[in-house]
């Protein structure tokens, strides 16, 4: 058996083992409240990031996250969770990506809220900085009303045009 075949063999074993864990979780857990595929536990939350599907903030907010069995775009209201989420995205090689999160100031400029209506924490360590003088996002006024984790700003928050569809992925969350 060549080295590559061996690698493929162990790769298949790993996939098998992972599948088994997920299966037994879903059997022993409460299926109505559990974190089931395509959602998976990341940093203690039930999340789904499809790296093959980009789209506008509204597409994920009003359709995609619910259509895939989740609730909405992710709420990132805890600094430790943000750090763990950034570490996860980095560990799978997507640290340069752009990812919608649930924060928006669409309904009232400058008043950032999560999908459940709770206020978004402003400043460090959530929002990124830019430029020579380390100005801090949000900076787009009424033109930019939806937040991303910005791979150009170390995956801190940046306000972005909500109707950007190209190369922005959504981080969906299922409340469990
Ligand atoms: Ca705005």
- pTM more than 0.95: no
Residue whose token pair is 């209506």: 117
Q: Ligand 1 centroid to 45 CA: how many Å? A: 27
Distance in Å, CA 30 to ligand 1 centroid: 40
Write out pLDDT tens, residues 74-122: 999 999 999 999 999 999 999 999 999 999 999 999 999 999 999 999 9
Rounded to the nearest 10 degrees, how much is the dihedral formed by the CA atoms of 106, 107, 113, 117?
Answer: -140
With b for 16 or more beta-carbon neighbours within 10 A and e for fewer, the 25-46 pattern comes to eeeeeeeeebbbeebeebeebb
- Report the C-alpha gap between 78 and 71 in whole angstroms: 19
Alpha carbon of 141 to ligand 1 centroid (Å): 4
For the chain, the domains span: 2-174
For the domain spanning 2-174, the CATH number is 3.10.100.10
Distance 160 CA to ligand 1 centre (A): 8
Task: Judge contact between 40 and 164, C-beta under 8 A.
Answer: no
Distance (angstroms) between ligand 1 centre and the Cα of 133 equals 21
Q: Are the C-beta atoms of 35 and 46 separated by less than 8 Å?
A: yes
**Distance from residue 142's CA to the centre of ligand 1 (Å):** 4
* pLDDT tens-digit series, residues 46-74: 999 999 999 999 999 999 999 999 999 99
């Amino acid at each position: 058996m060549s080295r590559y075949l061996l690698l493929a063999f162990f790769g298949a074993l790993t996939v098998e083992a992972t599948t088994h864990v997920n299966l037994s979780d879903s059997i022993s857990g409460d299926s109505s409240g559990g974190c089931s595929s395509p959602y998976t536990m990341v940093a203690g939350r039930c999340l789904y990031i499809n790296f093959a599907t980009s789209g506008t903030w509204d597409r994920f907010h009003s359709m995609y996250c619910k259509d895939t069995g989740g609730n909405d775009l992710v709420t990132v209201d805890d600094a430790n969770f943000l750090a763990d989420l950034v570490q996860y995205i980095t560990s799978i090689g997507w640290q340069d990506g752009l990812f919608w999160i649930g924060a928006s100031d669409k309904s009232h400029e400058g008043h950032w809220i999560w999908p459940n209506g709770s206020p978004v924490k402003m400043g460090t360590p959530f929002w990124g900085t830019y430029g020579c003088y380390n100005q801090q996002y949000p900076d787009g006024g009424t033109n930019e009303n939806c937040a991303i984790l910005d791979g150009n700003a170390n995956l801190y928050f940046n306000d972005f045009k909500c109707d950007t569809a190209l190369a922005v992925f959504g981080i969906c969350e299922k409340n469990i």
